[in-house]
Amino acid sequence: MESYLFRWAELFYSVIYCEKAEVRIQRDYHPRPGIYLRQVDLPGVHSKFIETHRGVLAELLDLALPVDAVDSGKTGISQFPARYGFLEKPTRIRFRVLDPSIQVVPGSASPDVTLDADSFSRLDLDVQRVFITENETNFLAFPPVCNAIVIFGAGYGWDALARSHWLNNCSIHYWGDIDTHGFGILDQLRAHFDHVVSFLIDRATLDAHTLIWGSEDKPLRVDLHRLMPEERALYDDLRYNRIRLGLRLEQEHIGFHWLAHRLHLPDDTGTSNSAALS
């Protein structure tokens, strides 16, 4: 019983902290702390307690705090900090420079760089093409390409990348798995950058790798409205099992000779795109 009451006391003090969190700059009290959860300094309440009991605290805070102090658009345990005005760990974006002539890190050709999303959004890189891949080996082994970078993708999470408005001035090529979820991720990426072009997510690539086809356990069934006609046709073939039940080709199984070949394909005018460096 004593332990039970002590836990409620900790919860109570945590709620009071959020309700009366001081913003020193304003020299006033305001219920959105603007600090990380681990920075909460309460007598007898360690910060890990707050992280562990976010579910219960969320219910109490929703009752105790004024409506304008709660971001109702942020829901679920993972978005607890954003809902109540705490700082979140910055989302990081990892990329490689594919053209050695582009200097991001002095003295390092084609570096592997990780930046927080805000820093990435402020980059001023002289690039014309951006490739995005979901597989780390493909990311690390992607061949040299003129005026280009490759980004290690984020699955269904594109909000952080969407802050980088300079990407609207680049051609963006998305390379994902050839399965229903791969097309789903492509569809969501186009919600932020409608000019994205799919890369190696096509019927020719699928047919060239029949020996290493795999299976998708829980395919999507929903309609995707941002796909191009050829993409939609292949997506429909996959979701309706017209080729094979649960067909999937993971991007890491695509041969690098095929990647190199596609980087050198002529463009629509019949001339070489001169993508790769010699």
Q: What is the pLDDT along the chain (278 residues), one digit of tens a residue?
A: 334 333 445 555 555 556 555 333 333 455 677 888 788 777 666 667 778 878 888 888 888 778 888 899 888 888 888 888 888 888 899 999 999 988 888 777 788 999 999 999 999 898 999 999 999 999 999 999 999 999 998 765 798 899 999 999 999 999 999 999 999 999 999 999 999 999 999 999 999 999 999 999 999 999 999 999 999 999 999 999 999 999 999 999 999 999 999 997 444 444 444 455 43
Together in a domain, 119 and 185? yes
Distance from C-alpha of 71 to C-alpha of 170, rounded to nearest angstrom: 34
For residue 175, the surrounding DSSP H or E stretch is strand 171-175
Q: N- to C-terminal Cα distance for the chain?
A: 74
Together in a domain, 173 and 201? yes
75 belongs to a structural domain: yes
Task: Provide the CATH number for the domain around residue 136.
Answer: 3.40.1360.10
Instruction: Name the domain boundary from 83, 104, 125.
Output: 83
Together in a domain, 160 and 230? yes
Instruction: Report the pLDDT value the prediction gives residue 11, as an integer from 0 to 100.
Output: 56
Residue found under tokens 């050839």: 178
278 belongs to a structural domain: no
Together in a domain, 155 and 252? yes
Together in a domain, 76 and 103? no
Together in a domain, 27 and 44? yes
Distance from C-alpha of 150 to C-alpha of 142, rounded to nearest angstrom: 8
What would you report as the CA-atom Rg of the chain, rounded to the nearest whole angstrom? 24
Host domain of residue 115: 92-263
- Domain count of the fold of the chain: 2
271 belongs to a structural domain: no
Together in a domain, 133 and 11? no
Together in a domain, 76 and 100? no
Instruction: Report the pLDDT value the prediction gives residue 90, as an integer from 0 to 100.
Output: 85
Instruction: Report the pLDDT value the prediction gives residue 77, as an integer from 0 to 100.
Output: 85
273 belongs to a structural domain: no
Q: What is the pTM assigned to this prediction?
A: 0.78
Distance from C-alpha of 166 to C-alpha of 117, rounded to nearest angstrom: 13
Instruction: Report the pLDDT value the prediction gives residue 32, as an integer from 0 to 100.
Output: 75
- Tokens found for residue 118: 């805000």
Instruction: Report the pLDDT value the prediction gives residue 159, as an integer from 0 to 100.
Output: 87
Length of the chain: 278
134 belongs to a structural domain: yes
Instruction: Report the pLDDT value the prediction gives residue 15, as an integer from 0 to 100.
Output: 58
Together in a domain, 197 and 259? yes
Instruction: Report the pLDDT value the prediction gives residue 9, as an integer from 0 to 100.
Output: 53
